[in-house]
Amino acid sequence: MQTIKSWFVVAGAGLGAAFLLGCAGMSGTSASITKSPFGKTPDGTPVDLYTLRNANGVEARICTYGGIVVSLKTPDRNGKSGDIVLGYDELDSYVRNNPFFGCFVGRYGNRIAGGQFTLDSRTYTLAKNNGPNHLHGGLKGFDKAVWSARTISTPQGPALEMRYLSKDGEEGYPGNLNVVAVYTLTEDNGLRLDYAATTDKPTVVNLTQHSYYNLAGKGDVLDHEVMIAADRFTAVDATLIPTGELRPVKGTPLDFTTPTRIGLRINADDEQIRLGNGYDHNFVLNKPAGQLGLAARVYEPTSGRVMEVLTTAPGMQLYTGNFLDGTITGKGGWVYQQRHGFCMEAQHFPDSPNQPAFPSTVLRPGQTYQNTIIYRFSAR
């Protein structure tokens, strides 16, 4: 598995995983993290909401149900703060009908063909919750778990450490998987996510974050200008499973090597665009797996907001809210229509457990899975 050098170290293959944290406090007198109740799940489990603020006026609200980023407020070019993620005002809506707004995705982000994979000569069967395929961890993935949480001090800013034990056989996956996720609001206006996991049996793991962004805070995202640091993408079949081909983006509507409006080619007469109903594709990043580097940059011209995505993962899925259809009313009464948000899910490639040529997602006892994603904000 990939390894990275970061500010934390995860040790041990079971429940003894622990973070070794720097002792520096939060800089800036206004940096803070607070906790409040956010309701209860249908079985009565309390859910908490944590609000992280830095000294620059950036604020992230994260709940323990699904590790959901409930809101993310950043200043525009005039210094006016606005919420830039889609979602709901209350917990009940997330429980009843959540198309993965803001959540922590696992055990396996993205699709696994046919809802099964073979590991060490044994075949494992998973839920088919996306047509013939398995998607985002199944019927009750990490997005529907209530995580234990505690606040911590880091050299980079206020942080929230969240933990979950995914038991052997949960959603069909082998091994007791101990997962730790740390959300840090950094001094340079980044929402940093450090994921780590250990197992007591061979398994597959692919963890990511699934916020729907709209840097204007309203309307569609077609005028957002996107650059993705990838010369290739994983071409897909009719059910959005990779064919195995790493296809060059050059000459296709998936070429974002220079800043390009999302809406410029989203309706192009192109097989891949038709199959995805827009963009729903994994890009092969131009950097070594395990190395933290730039994956994408997005600019929204009316607000001036800029979002940079950095990751240690080998790939990133661009999804353009293709299946939002006006049936969901979100925060502040906003009815979410198609293309009202986009996702940039930094992760391993879809269907990697069934594609030996792709970077491996196999995690074995004694190893540590790690993935870092940073969403960093500015304005111009």
At 312-321, the pLDDT tens digits run 999 999 999 9
Closest CA to 61 of 47, 45, 73: 73
pLDDT of residue 376: 98
Q: 161, 171, 225, 345: which is the annotated catalytic residue?
A: 345
Question: Residue 170 — φ and ψ, nearest 5°?
Answer: -60, 125
The reply to whether omega before 163 is within 30° of 0 (cis) is no
Which domains, and CATH codes, for the chain?
A: 32-379 (2.70.98.10)
pLDDT of residue 20 exceeding 50, the answer is no
Strand order in the sheet with 369-379: 148-154, 157-166, 177-185, 190-199, 369-379, 305-311, 293-299, 225-228, 260-261
Q: Do the beta carbons of residue 88 and residue 189 sit within 8 Å?
A: no
**Six-digit token pair at 8?**
């934390």
- Please state whether beta strands 111-112 and 343-347 pair in parallel, antiparallel, or not at all (unpaired): unpaired
pLDDT band at residue 63, thresholds of 50, 70 and 90? very high
pLDDT of residue 9: 36
Instruction: Tell me if residue 26 falls in helix, strand or coil.
Output: coil
Neighbouring CB atoms inside 10 A of 167's CB total 10
pLDDT of residue 232: 98
At 163-209, the pLDDT tens digits run 999 999 999 999 999 999 999 999 999 999 999 999 999 999 999 99
Q: Please tell me the distance from the alpha carbon of residue 334 to that of residue 354, in angstroms, as a whole number.
A: 40
pTM, rounded to two decimals: 0.92
Per the annotation, the verdict on 345 as an active-site residue is yes
Question: Residue 109 — φ and ψ, nearest 5°?
Answer: -70, 140
Closest CA to 309 of 251, 230, 197, 249: 230
Average pLDDT, integer, range 12-37: 52
Q: What burial letters (b/e) apply to 55-78, b meaning 16+ CB within 10 Å?
A: ebebbbbbbbbbbbbbbbbbbbee
Q: For 202, which DSSP code?
A: -
Q: Please tell me the distance from the alpha carbon of residue 11 to that of residue 5, in angstroms, as a whole number.
A: 13
pLDDT of residue 157: 85
pLDDT of residue 25 exceeding 70, the answer is no
Q: For 337, which DSSP code?
A: P
**Six-digit token pair at 109?**
């982000």
Per the annotation, the verdict on 224 as an active-site residue is no
**Six-digit token pair at 369?**
């899975």
Q: Please tell me the distance from the alpha carbon of residue 40 to that of residue 242, in angstroms, as a whole number.
A: 39
Q: Do the beta carbons of residue 71 and residue 150 sit within 8 Å?
A: no
Q: 210, 281, 340, 348: which is the annotated catalytic residue?
A: 210
pLDDT of residue 5 exceeding 90, the answer is no
pLDDT band at residue 227, thresholds of 50, 70 and 90? very high
Q: Please tell me the distance from the alpha carbon of residue 274 to that of residue 271, in angstroms, as a whole number.
A: 5
